[in-house]
C-alpha cells in the first residue's frame, strides 16, 4: 500500500467482492454504499481514513495524487468534508479491526503495518486471526474461496486459448 492508501498489491482474499475491486480504501469507505455494512464500526473507519489522509497531506502537502483524491472525496462526500474539517491526524501502525465480509461473514483481525525502508512511501500491512476462533475459521475459508477463484480464472483462460 502506498501512503495515499492505494493498494498496490493484495491477496485475492483481501478483495471485498471478486468482480468489484477497489484500488483506494478511502474511495471505498466514502463512495461505496457497501462500506457501511463492511465495517461494524463504520464511523470509526471513516474517521481513521480521514486522519490517515491528513497525516499524509502533512508529510507531502504538494502531492498531486493526494490532492486529487482529497478534492474528489470533498466534492462527492459530505461525510468526508465534515471529517476533513476536524484536522485529525493519526499514524496507523497496528491494532485490531473487525470486518463483515460478504462471503465469509464477521472477522476480527489483528493487523500490523510497517513502512518499507527499501521502498520509501510504501507500507506493508498484514492481518492475522487469533487461532481457534471463528475469525480464524472465516479467514481460512476466505483464503480457500480466493484460491478457488484463482484456479477457476486460470482454467477459463486456458480454455479460451
What span, in angstroms and rounded, lies between the C-alpha atoms of 68 and 11? 27
CATH number, residue 76 = 3.30.450.180
Q: Do the domain assignments include residue 7?
A: no
Q: Do the domain assignments include residue 2?
A: no
Q: Do the domain assignments include residue 107?
A: yes
Q: How many domains does the chain have?
A: 1
Look at residue 1 in the predicted model and tell me its pLDDT.
44
Look at residue 3 in the predicted model and tell me its pLDDT.
47
Look at residue 89 in the predicted model and tell me its pLDDT.
87
pLDDT tens, 6-36? 554 455 545 555 444 456 889 999 999 999 9
Rg of the chain over Cα atoms, rounded to whole angstroms, equals 17
Q: Do the domain assignments include residue 6?
A: no
Look at residue 31 in the predicted model and tell me its pLDDT.
94
Look at residue 4 in the predicted model and tell me its pLDDT.
46
DSSP letter string, 111-134: EEEEE-TTSTTBEEEEEE--TTSH
Residue 68 has pLDDT above 50, yes or no: yes
- From residue 27, alpha-carbon distances to 94, 155, 160 in Å are 22, 32, 34
Q: Do the domain assignments include residue 38?
A: yes
- Cα 135 to its chain centre, rounded Å, is 18
Look at residue 160 in the predicted model and tell me its pLDDT.
64
> Phi/psi zone of residue 26: left (φ > 0), alpha (ψ -120 to 50 degrees), beta?
alpha
pLDDT tens, 36-59? 999 999 999 999 999 989 988 888
Q: Do the domain assignments include residue 134?
A: yes
Look at residue 29 in the predicted model and tell me its pLDDT.
93
What span, in angstroms and rounded, lies between the C-alpha atoms of 130 and 111? 11
Q: Do the domain assignments include residue 5?
A: no
Domain residues for the domain of 67 are: 12-159
The single residue listed with the C-alpha cell 504538494 is 62
pLDDT tens, 110-149? 999 988 899 877 888 899 999 999 999 999 999 888 777 6
Q: Do the domain assignments include residue 1?
A: no
Burial of residue 159 (CB within 10 Å: 0-12, 13-18, 19+) is exposed
- Measured torsion, CA atoms of residues 62, 71, 9, 30, in degrees rounded to the nearest 10: 140
Amino acid at each position: 500500500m502506498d501512503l495515499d492508501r492505494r493498494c498496490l498489491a493484495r491477496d485475492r482474499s483481501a478483495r471485498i467482492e471478486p468482480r468489484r475491486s477497489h484500488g483506494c480504501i478511502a474511495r471505498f469507505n466514502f463512495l461505496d454504499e457497501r462500506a457501511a455494512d463492511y465495517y461494524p464500526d463504520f464511523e470509526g473507519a471513516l474517521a481513521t481514513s480521514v486522519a490517515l489522509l491528513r497525516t499524509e497531506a502533512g508529510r507531502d502537502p504538494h502531492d498531486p495524487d493526494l490532492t486529487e483524491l482529497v478534492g474528489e472525496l470533498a466534492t462527492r462526500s459530505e461525510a468526508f468534508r465534515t471529517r476533513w474539517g476536524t484536522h485529525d491526524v493519526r499514524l496507523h501502525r497496528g491494532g485490531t479491526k473487525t470486518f463483515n465480509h460478504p462471503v465469509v461473514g464477521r472477522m476480527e483481525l489483528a493487523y500490523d503495518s510497517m513502512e518499507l525502508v527499501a521502498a520509501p512511501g510504501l507500507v506493508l500491512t498484514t492481518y492475522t486471526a487469533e487461532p481457534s476462533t471463528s475469525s480464524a475459521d472465516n479467514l481460512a475459508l476466505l483464503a480457500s474461496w480466493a484460491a478457488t477463484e484463482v484456479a477457476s480464472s486460470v482454467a477459463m483462460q486456458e480454455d479460451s486459448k
